[in-house]
């Protein structure tokens, strides 16, 4: 067998029975991470694998990133961190969503590192360290403009001057880095440099996917790529240099022709202005293909007139009517009569319809589409180990 040819690992539903399939190109994922790691230099690159690796599966994503050299991961929840540790026991794994008192024994046993963002959490952690005699590490989250988790900058500076037990990492989260011209970027980076000086000698991190592409200032010693690693856009209004990682396809169940003047779908929102050939596919909002991608009959269509599209037989075709729980209809009238048949697959996003273009049609973002992917798909993971 040609060693450069990707091998296929499957998961999820039986391909003979599934209404849709997901193809995850792990070589593209690794190539994207490698590109972001190079762009992050002299900082080291970690990988954000929260939300089950953005819907793609921690069990599949973490091993290939670890093989590529990634040794630091970020998750949202302890359960996710335990899954990462089971795969990569030598990796550092930071848990972003704070600390609950009852979780301390799990952190202690597993080696997970909490990201602490309040005096309550810091006192809880360091107090337990004092009682146990263990000096378990933690990261400090500082809020420089998100107004979500974290100490204020003033609180953090005071903490730096008086703390008896310092963090191993100081981090902040950028609120508007995907918009290069936003005034908040400069303010946050300036605050971050003040923090770096106050916590001199301690590893620091500000750059998420968008921040890696930002030229405003130094983003610290550790970058945290997320959405760009999975093929999504990092910056608004800029051509996306990342390779597509995920292709979502729906299987066509039936093709029918309906006469001009009829309506299609729930609410009779799609008025057929010509004799129309319709391909009905077996994926819907229960599978994470959002209802707001409907071609008509949803409030978003009053603001963004164009709904979602599919790609089949070399052509883009519009979603017809409303996306329903288990089915989506497409107008294939403009395709040759024999171009599409039952059993064929129509791409919903992937190489021909960019993830973020599909997300924009839904009035959403690529993050939501990826993390909404359901469990009824047949999943195919492609990996050659070449990462390119």
Mean pLDDT for the stretch of residues 208-215: 90
Quote the pLDDT of residue 2: 39
When pLDDT is cut at 50, 70 and 90, the band that residue 387 belongs to is low
Looking only at the bridges linking them, the beta strands covering 222-223 and 246-258 are: unpaired
Would you call 171 helix, strand, or coil by DSSP? strand
Nearest of 217, 171, 228 to residue 37 by alpha carbon: 228
Contacts by 196-202, CB closer than 8 A, 24 or more apart:
196/170, 196/220, 198/156, 198/157, 198/160, 198/161, 199/140, 199/160, 199/166, 199/167, 199/170, 202/166, 202/167, 202/168, 202/169, 202/170
Residue 217 has pLDDT above 80, yes or no: no
pLDDT tens column, 283-342: 999 999 999 999 999 999 999 889 999 999 999 999 999 999 999 999 999 999 999 999
Count CB atoms within 10 A of the CB of residue 92: 20
pLDDT of residue 1: 34
* R_g over Cα of the chain: 24
- Measured CA distances, 220 to 18, 68, 187, 380 (Å): 45, 22, 15, 36
Residue 270 CB contacts under 8 Å (≥ 6 apart), including other chains: 263, 264, 295, 296, 297, 320, 321, 322
More confident residue, 262 or 305: 262
Whole-prediction pTM: 0.95
Instruction: Count CA atoms within 13 Å of residue 34 on its CB side.
Output: 16
Domains of the chain: 26-230 (3.20.20.10), 246-383 (2.40.37.10)
Pinpoint the alpha helices (H) of the chain: 26-40, 50-54, 58-67, 78-87, 104-110, 119-132, 153-162, 183-198, 209-212, 355-361, 366-371
Four-residue CA torsion sign, 216, 221, 224, 228: positive
Residue ranges at the known binding site for substrate: 148, 325
266 is catalytic: yes
Is 345 in contact with 21 (CB distance < 8 Å)?
Answer: yes
Question: Angle CA(346)–CA(318)–CA(251) in degrees, nearest 5?
Answer: 20
362, burial (CB in 10 Å: exposed 0-12, middle 13-18, buried 19+): buried
Q: Which of 266, 306, 316, 341 is catalytic?
A: 266
Q: What percent of the chain has pLDDT over 70?
A: 97
Give the pLDDT confidence score for residue 4 in this predicted structure: 56
pLDDT in tens, 353-364: 999 999 999 999
In sequence order, what are the beta bridge partners of 310? 317
Taking only the tens place, the pLDDT of each residue in 34-43 is 999 999 999 9
What number of residues does the chain have? 388
pLDDT digits (tens, 9 = 90+) for 82-127: 999 999 999 999 999 999 999 999 999 999 999 999 999 999 999 9
pLDDT tens column, 76-89: 999 999 999 999 99
Tokens matching residue 287: 């599978």
Number of other residues whose CB lies within 10 A of the CB of residue 104: 18
Asked about 50 being catalytic, the answer comes back as yes
């Amino acid at each position: 067998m040609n060693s450069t040819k990707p091998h296929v690992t499957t998961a999820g539903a039986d391909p003979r029975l599934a209404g849709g399939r997901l193809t995850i190109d792990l070589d593209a994922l690794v190539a994207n991470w490698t590109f972001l790691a190079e762009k992050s230099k002299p900082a080291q690159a970690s990988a954000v694998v929260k939300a089950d690796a953005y819907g793609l599966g921690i069990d599949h994503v973490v091993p290939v990133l670890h093989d590529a050299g990634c040794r630091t991961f970020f998750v949202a929840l302890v359960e996710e961190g335990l899954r990462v540790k089971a795969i990569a026991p030598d990796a550092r794994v930071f848990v972003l969503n704070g600390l609950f008192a009852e979780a301390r024994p799990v952190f202690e046993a597993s080696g997970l590192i909490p990201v602490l963002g309040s005096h309550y959490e810091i006192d809880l952690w360091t107090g337990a360290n004092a009682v146990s005699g263990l000096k378990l590490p933690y990261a400090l989250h500082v809020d420089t403009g998100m107004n979500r988790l974290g100490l204020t900058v003033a609180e953090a500076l005071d903490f730096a001057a008086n703390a008896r037990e310092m963090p191993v990492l100081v981090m902040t989260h950028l609120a508007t880095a995907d918009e290069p011209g936003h005034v908040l970027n400069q303010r946050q980076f300036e605050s971050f440099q003040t923090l770096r000086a106050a916590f001199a000698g301690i590893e620091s991190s500000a750059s998420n996917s968008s921040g890696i592409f930002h030229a405003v200032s130094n983003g610290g010693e550790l970058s945290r790529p997320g959405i760009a690693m999975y093929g999504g856009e990092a910056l608004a209004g800029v051509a996306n240099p990342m390779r597509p990682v995920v292709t979502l396809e729906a299987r066509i169940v039936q093709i029918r022709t309906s006469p001009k003047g009829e309506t299609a779908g729930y609410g009779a929102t799609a008025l057929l202005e010509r004799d129309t050939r319709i391909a009905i596919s077996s994926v819907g909002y229960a599978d994470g293909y959002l209802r707001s991608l409907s071609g008509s009959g949803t409030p978003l269509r009053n603001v963004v007139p164009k709904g979602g599209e599919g790609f089949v037989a070399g052509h883009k075709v519009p979603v017809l009517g409303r996306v329903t729980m288990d089915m989506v209809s497409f107008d294939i009238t403009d395709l040759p009569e024999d171009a599409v048949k039952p059993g064929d697959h129509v791409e919903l996003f992937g190489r021909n319809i960019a993830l973020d273009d599909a997300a924009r049609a839904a009035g959403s973002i690529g993050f939501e589409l990826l993390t909404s992917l359901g469990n009824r798909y047949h999943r195919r993971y492609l990996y050659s180990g070449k990462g390119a």
